[in-house]
Structure 1
Amino acid sequence: MVTTDFQKIFPMGERLYIGLAGLATDVQTVAQRLKFRLNLYELKEGRQIKPQTFMSMVSNLLYERRFGPYYTEPVIAGLDPVTHEPFICSLDLIGCPMITDDFVVSGTCSEQMYGMCESLWEPDMEPDHLFETISQAMLNAVDRDALSGMGVVVHVIEKDKITTRTLKARMD
């Protein structure tokens, strides 16, 4: 049985998400192990985790398996629970982080996305404009890469709300 709606984005906190591109079994394993470690952290510390700390947790999990890595490329996006500062980064298979202020791409269609993201991205976009930009870049990449799936789920994280929209792409 083949599914076209495999979950690749996982909520890890109130304003913290991780996207995992890669081998389906490794995606599920990494998501479950991270949720376990995150629950332990929050029980021990008694507070929500900061995105930078979560990035270190993900990096450690991946680096532990560097000789037999999980085939996933994580992307972490979220807001700091106290300052509401945005945070976005990506990691490679062995946990090396790439922190940036603008955008990151990951997965089978990453080559197609770089050009679109570089041309469409602007600093300090409003949430609606950001959604349109993300949607255009993602749908363009998905249309050019059959392995990426049949649609896109876009999460726009704001200080007071999270907007989630599903976009359908062509199925051929």
Structure 2
Amino acid sequence: MKRRDALRSLALITGGLVLVPACDFSKDDILSAYKNLNVTTSQQKLLAQIADTIIPAGYIKGASDLAVQDFILVMVNDCVDSEGQKSFSDGLSAFDAFSKKSGGKVFDKLEVPQREQVLKTVLASEGEEDKTIRAFLNTTKRFTIQGFMMSEYIMTNVKPYSLIPGDYNGEVLIADLKSEKING
């Protein structure tokens, strides 16, 4: 009986070793959650770095801490028309090349001030060749701010959302009121 188990195990191991060279582990997989976009995991990480450059972590959490990149991809996948999705995908694909051209390195190898400068360069450019990258970055910026402000963390910890304006207390002096400031 043990000989049969040994032969079965040997056959399984041999079959597995035969199939391993056929597997290509170097290729970056396309995320299947976004049907209308062909986004790889490396592009998702790049999008997280761009969002974190737009809203960095500091006193409160940053955009990548709240997984805003997933919100951006869902919004582009579900709410943007096919032309906008194509423009977004093209801009995301071409962003690293633009970063290398303007900043000297790919985006994830740059320091924070250099990343900010690359984003400012894209937004300030007027050229026709940077049109897709500029459209991509404008869409990313819009959805980064929207996703950040609508996140559970912001709505519960930073600026608590109240469905009703609050209890009425007529004996409070205006000088005693303090306003919640989330921007400074």
TM more than 0.5 = no
Q: TM-score, normalised by structure 1?
A: 0.33
Q: Which has the higher contact order (CA 8 A, sep 6+)?
A: 2
Which structure has more helix as a fraction of its residues?
2
| Structure of larger gyration radius | 2
Which structure has more strand as a fraction of its residues?
1
Q: TM-score, normalised by structure 2?
A: 0.32
